[in-house]
Amino acid sequence: MTAQILDGKALGQKLRADFRQRAERLASQDARPGLAVILVGDDPASQVYVRNKVDACAQTGFYSERHVYSANVEAQTVFARIAELNADPKIHGILVQLPLPRHFDADAVLEAIAPDKDVDGFRAENLGALTRGRPCFIPCTPHGVMKFFEEAGIPIKGREAVVVGRSNIVGKPMALLLMHAGATVTVCHSQTRDLKAHCRRADILVVAVGKAKMITGDMIKPGAVVIDVGMNRLEDGKLCGDVDFASAKDLAAFITPVPGGVGPMTITMLLANTLESAERAANAGANLWRS
Ligand code: GUN
């Protein structure tokens, strides 16, 4: 079997064409969707992610601002900027690129974002709503993964799903979304005994660890859906995922490539959340939350 590729670039482009039209409709009411991105420090990967997010805004007809600070900036300066952005009607989404430098209390920074502009969905209140299955901003990466399933008609109900990685950004919300969709979910992490045995049971395997090629073909159940959230840079400068694509693609039924899989969908869902926030602001009073 050779896996069907889940192409995040193509699906992202398709969704963004609709977002562009909706953005233009809002712009004609003087309510163009606006995203502010805050970057602290000079992590090269974060710089690339932030540039891609800002570029995606421009290509989709969104307004965006980038606020960049050196790693030794006073936390107070960042909090003051967030307060300004919270009050700015041009801005419908605020994203603080993670990780922050060590001297920052990242939770405190995320909690400073106004709940209705928390387009990353990282505030505790938002994650609480997600846990309860209530309407909320769904964190962008797991949201993008769910879009792949929806688009490819991949059934979830009753299936065994294994999530490798328990981060607040991906692993935990991913597990919740799969659980709400009817999967039986196992979350594996650095203390898991016999990772291979868990992975081999998975009809749906989502890997978000940050270790190049750690999941090899012998860990994959034939016919599985394999979602690779990893983005690692090899010594030769090439990008690769957490899954060894070469050995996995002959076993999986569906697989995401790296690059070009989950990455573009994360940005697409950031645009989706920002657009939703802008539409809510423009229709204040109307309930536009997803059911
Ligand atoms: N760092 C890695 N992924 C993300 C993300 O989705 N959002 C933010 N804010 N930071 C990240």
Residue 153 and residue 253 in one domain: yes
Q: Which amino acid is at 23?
A: A
Q: Which of 40, 121, 34 is nearest to 76 (CA)?
A: 40
Task: Give the pLDDT of residue 289.
Answer: 55
**Structural domain includes residue 182:** yes
**Structural domain includes residue 21:** no
3 state SS of 88: coil
Q: Which of 272, 19, 238 is nearest to 146 (CA)?
A: 272
Beta strands 93-96; 34-40: pairing state: parallel
Residue 258 and residue 145 in one domain: yes
Question: Which residue's CA is the nearest one to ligand 1's atom 8?
Answer: 97
Q: Which of 95, 108, 118 is nearest to 46 (CA)?
A: 95
CATH of the domain at 216: 3.40.50.720
Distance (angstroms) between ligand 1 centre and the Cα of 98 equals 5
Q: Angle 262-282/8-28 helices, nearest 10 degrees?
A: 20
Task: Give the pLDDT of residue 107.
Answer: 97
Task: Give the pLDDT of residue 291.
Answer: 43
Residue 57 and residue 159 in one domain: no
CATH of the domain at 104: 3.40.50.10860
Residue 159 and residue 243 in one domain: yes
Q: Which phi and psi angles does 267 have, rounded to 5°?
A: -70, -40
82 lines ligand 1 (CB under 6 A): no
Residue 97 and residue 157 in one domain: no
Residue 150 and residue 109 in one domain: no
126 lines ligand 1 (CB under 6 A): no
**Which residue out of 7, 117, 118, 120 is catalytically annotated?**
120
Residue 145 and residue 258 in one domain: yes
Residue 120 among the catalytic residues: yes
User: What's the CA gap between 273 and 120, in Å, rounded?
Assistant: 8
Question: Which residue's CA is the nearest one to ligand 1's atom 4?
Answer: 98
For 195, residues 6+ apart whose C-beta sits below 8 A from its C-beta are 164, 188, 219
Domain count, the chain: 2
List of the chain residues with pLDDT < 70: 285-291
Angle subtended at Cα 219 by Cα 215 and Cα 221, rounded to the nearest 5 degrees: 125
**Structural domain includes residue 207:** yes
**Which residue out of 53, 172, 221, 249 is catalytically annotated?**
53
Residue 158 and residue 229 in one domain: yes
Residue 196 among the catalytic residues: no
Q: Which helix (H) or strand (E) holds 35?
A: strand 34-40
User: What's the CA gap between 173 and 66, in Å, rounded?
Assistant: 26
**Structural domain includes residue 288:** no
Residue 206 and residue 249 in one domain: yes
**33: which 2 tokens?**
């969707």
Residue 168 and residue 241 in one domain: yes
Residue 159 and residue 257 in one domain: yes
Task: Give the pLDDT of residue 287.
Answer: 52
3 state SS of 74: coil
- Residue 281 · residue 34 · CB < 8 Å: no
**Structural domain includes residue 23:** no
Residue 203 among the catalytic residues: no
Task: Give the pLDDT of residue 285.
Answer: 46
**Structural domain includes residue 3:** no
Task: Give the pLDDT of residue 284.
Answer: 84
List the domain range (segments joined by +) for residue 110.
32-114
Residue 98 and residue 144 in one domain: no
**Structural domain includes residue 133:** no
- Residue 112 · residue 95 · CB < 8 Å: no
**Structural domain includes residue 11:** no
